[in-house]
């Protein structure tokens, strides 16, 4: 069985769950995972080949600093279990930090609403990949927390609505309000420019 590493991302502490998902998906597509899921029979030629293929896939995605953890006698199951044990704990700690950032992030007053929302989405997507999904209502609250003073009226309106807040509703309302503010500012500038041209020039 030919194994390709083109679709295997390089393993790193920051992308552990993405790497894990990709490797498991590739193995499943190739009918593997038997060795990792349970001990294999060294006397069974098919199991021996599966062991070799799984080792190849795992090693193809590792950087040098992780390769030194293993040797030629390390089985695919040992490699897998070692990496999971080492990095699951680190990612659990990181998820706590990301959740804290979700509700404490503060951005510059002049930053666009799209930039603010993108920051929140980035955090929630990372948490989702780490299997620590955030409730949609909490995402809506996190977005409202970073609303600039110029959008406080929209925030107040949303907070007092009877229906459950959703991130989609909050994002739509804030982007519309931002577009309205920009349009009004542009109109004011146009009037000022016209006034100067008519009465000053």
- Residue pLDDT tens, the chain, 201 long: 444 445 666 766 667 777 888 888 888 887 776 666 666 677 878 878 888 888 888 888 787 777 777 887 788 888 888 888 877 767 777 888 888 888 887 666 566 778 878 888 888 888 887 778 899 989 988 888 877 766 666 666 676 676 777 888 888 888 887 777 777 665 555 555 554 555 555
Q: What local confidence, expressed as pLDDT, does residue 12 receive?
A: 64
Q: What local confidence, expressed as pLDDT, does residue 197 receive?
A: 55
Q: What local confidence, expressed as pLDDT, does residue 6 receive?
A: 54
Residue keyed to tokens 């080492």? 86
Q: What local confidence, expressed as pLDDT, does residue 178 receive?
A: 76
30-56 per-residue burial string, b: 16 or more CB within 10 A, e: under 16: bebbbbbeeebeeeeeeeeebbebbbe
Residues 10 and 2: their CA atoms lie apart, in Å, by: 19
Q: What local confidence, expressed as pLDDT, does residue 52 receive?
A: 85
């Amino acid at each position: 069985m030919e194994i390709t590493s083109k679709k295997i991302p390089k393993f790193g502490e920051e992308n552990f769950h993405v790497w894990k998902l990709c490797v498991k998906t590739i193995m499943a597509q190739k009918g593997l995972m038997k060795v990792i899921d349970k001990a294999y029979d060294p006397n069974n030629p098919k199991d021996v080949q599966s062991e070799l293929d799984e080792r190849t896939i795992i090693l193809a995605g590792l950087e040098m600093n992780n390769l030194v953890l293993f040797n030629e006698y390390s089985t695919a199951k040992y490699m897998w279990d070692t990496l999971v044990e080492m990095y699951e704990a680190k990612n659990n700690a990181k998820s706590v930090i990301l959740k804290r950032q979700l509700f404490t992030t503060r951005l510059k007053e002049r930053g666009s609403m799209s930039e603010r929302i993108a920051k929140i989405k980035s955090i929630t997507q990372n948490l989702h990949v780490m299997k620590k999904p955030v409730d949609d209502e909490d995402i809506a609250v996190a977005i409202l927390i970073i609303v600039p003073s110029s959008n406080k009226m929209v925030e107040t309106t949303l907070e007092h609505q009877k229906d459950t807040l959703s991130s989609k509703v909050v994002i739509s309302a804030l982007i519309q309000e931002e577009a309205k503010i920009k349009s009004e500012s542009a109109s004011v500038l146009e009037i000022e420019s016209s006034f100067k041209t008519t009465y000053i020039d």
